[in-house]
Structure 1
Amino acid sequence: MHLLCAFLAVLSLCEGSSLHCPGRCSCDSMQSVQCYRLTEVPSAIPPSTKRLYISHSKIQHLQLSNFTEMLAIEDFILLASGTESVENGTFKILNTLKSLELWKNKLRRVPSALPATLEVLKLNDNSINVLHASDFEGLKKLRILELKNNLLSSLSPSTLASLVSLQSLMVDSNHVQSVAGPLPLPHLRQLSLENNQLQIIPGSFFTSLQRLQYLSFSGNFLARIPVNLPNSLRSLKMERNQLKVVRFQDLKHLGNLFHLYLSENSLSSINGAQFLANLTTLELYQNQLQMLPLGLPARLQKLDCSNNLIQQVREQDFQDLRDLKHLFLDNNIVSVFESGALQRCSRLSSLALEQNLLQSIPLRLPGTLARLDLKGNAIQDIAEPELRDLKHLQVLNLRNNKLSALDHKALESLPRLRHLYLDGNPWNCTCSLLRAREVLKAKGTDVRGGQCVAPAERQGESWMSSVRIMKECESHLHLAEKSQGSREEPKAEDPSSIAINMDDDDEDYEID
């Protein structure tokens, strides 16, 4: 009886709390309320609510009276609701507010008199065109400030001076043409000014940023890497600028730099990257490199030189890169690949050589390779010596080459092959390909492509899955064996010229 009474009491409390949840909203036991398609901020949310999320509504104006009963609110998110203005001091009374996010609205300025408890402020995708020092007064606890996709044209140090605890500042995709220094944010760790209109960064800009770890100036008009970068930097992004030369000697003090991104610039050569002794990632895709970088740091793990004008790969280019795991050389004009050029890369796992001018698979590739991409070359043949060392290879991409046959012995040397891509090759579907198919079937390899181009009567069929080809070849091979023991029987026809009955209704063979 006591248990029944207790259950009914709890049930009545739950029902009572659900009555306080406004229409078009959902309230949960974690003190969170989510609302959609409203015309105003709900006034009857439970007083214990800590998180209020409103999305895709039509709330043109926020005012103080909307929040007078939200004394426990910690997170307020208003997303894509067409909000154009906020009454002065609207959020000042929210003494528990830690996170304020007003994304994808139509705000023209930062809301005034924000509470001192605020730690996160995200105003992305609005129409804010200027910042005032008064916007951030008293926000000594603010750690994250995001102003992406607004209309800002400048970034002034005095505007942000009161943000003494700021750790992350994102001002991507604005119209920022100039910045001044020093930026007085001693605890800043992450700064991003991507997709703006910066042409120069003053040397004094980084004077106070001695804890900065992540810096991005991608998508600007910078002709050089900024000087006086802080020693604490771990990642530097400079893609999509106007770099023609990189002076690595000016960066040698960056002993903590692990990741450097220089893609989509106008670099014709790279020399001296060894000054960055701890660099593990170097991305250089879509530049104008005619040869591989000289003097790469020994700890490099990822090198991306795709979409350049590189013609050859030499052993001397990689002799010290024992930690290299990922190498991207796709979309170049590589026609010469020295035998054993990558032999010292004893940890190499993936090699991308798509869309080059190779006529054969490079010899003596590292046995550690798990993925090899050779799509879009001019490879006509695959021999067993080219693959015999690749005992760990799992993915082999041979699409869009000039292969007409496939040596089953080469496939037998790949014990871990799981995926093989063969589309876009001019396969000559003779019965000899059945031996390759049996090897692949035994491995359980997932094979894509393999449509016949010749002989004409087999065009469009797949030598991997066609039951017709399999039956015809097996039948004629059996006849050939019988003919060897009888002089009276005619000599069996060459299996390579067997005609296929195109009217056979057998279904394609499925690989298990």
Structure 2
Amino acid sequence: MRLLRGLLLLLFLVFWAADARKGEGRSRRLMRGRSRARAVKRFAADCKEYSTNGEKHLDCQERQLKSVQSGWPEDIDHLLLARNRIQVLRDNTFSNFRNLRSLDLQQNEISRIEENVFSGLSKLTTLLLQHNRLQMLSEDVLIPMPQLKYLRIHDNPWRCDCQLDSLVRYIQVPSNRNLGNYAKCAEPTAFWGRKLKKLDADQLCTPQHENVEIPKPEHENLPAPIKEFDATTLCHTYMHPVPHMDCRNRDLKTVPADIPLDIMRLDLSINNIKQLRPKKFITVKDLKLLNLSGNSLEGIDTAAFTGLLNLNELDLSNNSLQNFPYGVLEDLYFLKRLSLGGNPWICDYNIHYLIYWLKHHRGVYHTGLVCSKPKEFQGWSVEDYVKTYNGECPKDSQSGQTADPAGITAQKFGDETEEEELGPIPYRGPKKYEIIRLT
């Protein structure tokens, strides 16, 4: 009987140990699943998700990403992946994001794009691939995106040969006027610096244009071609929420050339631009915000802002401006905000134009108009200085003088001053004299 009890107890202990091990395994698997879920959530949380105007954005910029990660929300409208470390875009990478309207992949290290990478993106209108390492791209890559309206592919080392033929012909179709506008050939030498939009596509597959070398005279090395920097090379372009270009802190000495025509916000702050030359913004007719703060601006040409009829905000703060030339603001019909602080304004007659213009544009909110010189007006608001300048002139100390509004003082000597009888009798008679002295 004791032996039977011992066997039963032993069997019970064996079954209990087995159940404990199973329970422990289940708990471990559950914990691993939870930790993986937390890891996915935690990774997804590294990207910023937000909504504007009813559209969902997922901002995964500057995350050191090498690929698109799992666990991201798939109902987003805009995906921002700029400034990461993505090198290859593989087939069906974005196939789950079927609501995407814009995809920002600029400033990565992309050198290869597989043919079906954009499959399923039938709603995509904006694709940004500038500032990467692409040398070739086929039209077939773009076919899954019938709604594509904006394609930015500049600042890539495009090799303009037969492999690029289909892409060149595709972006040159008249209806594709906003596709690949600023992209340029990097090689071969015969096509270096030429825009893809303006290439003769028939020449791309011509053998004599491949691997062309410039002949060099004996014992003489030709200098390397000088690269001309323009806005699309130096600056970063974004399309959402509105087309804008970021040229901050690029050590610019002039306004860069080839600013895209559709740009609405342009940031040129923290550079070394000393003079604004005429008509530098004349092609950017949709520009609404222009930031020139933190430069070394000393002078602005009268025609510098020609064409900016739609500009709403102009920031000229923290420069070296002392006054405005007459007429410099005349094209800014719809300006609403003018930032002028941090400039050494000189309160003399040359500052009057600015106050006159602001007086006649009362809807413009302005800040920073404070006299720096001369010493007696230092710290005054420029408006207060102009009021004192236009105040009543001092009374002339000489008796018998009256001042008229034109600044001319009239002095009369008697009401009936008679002229000496110097001529014949018919011409003699009383005359009135009025001596006018200009003050």
TM-score normalised according to structure 2 size: 0.49
Structure index of larger Rg: 2
Structure with bigger helix share is: 2
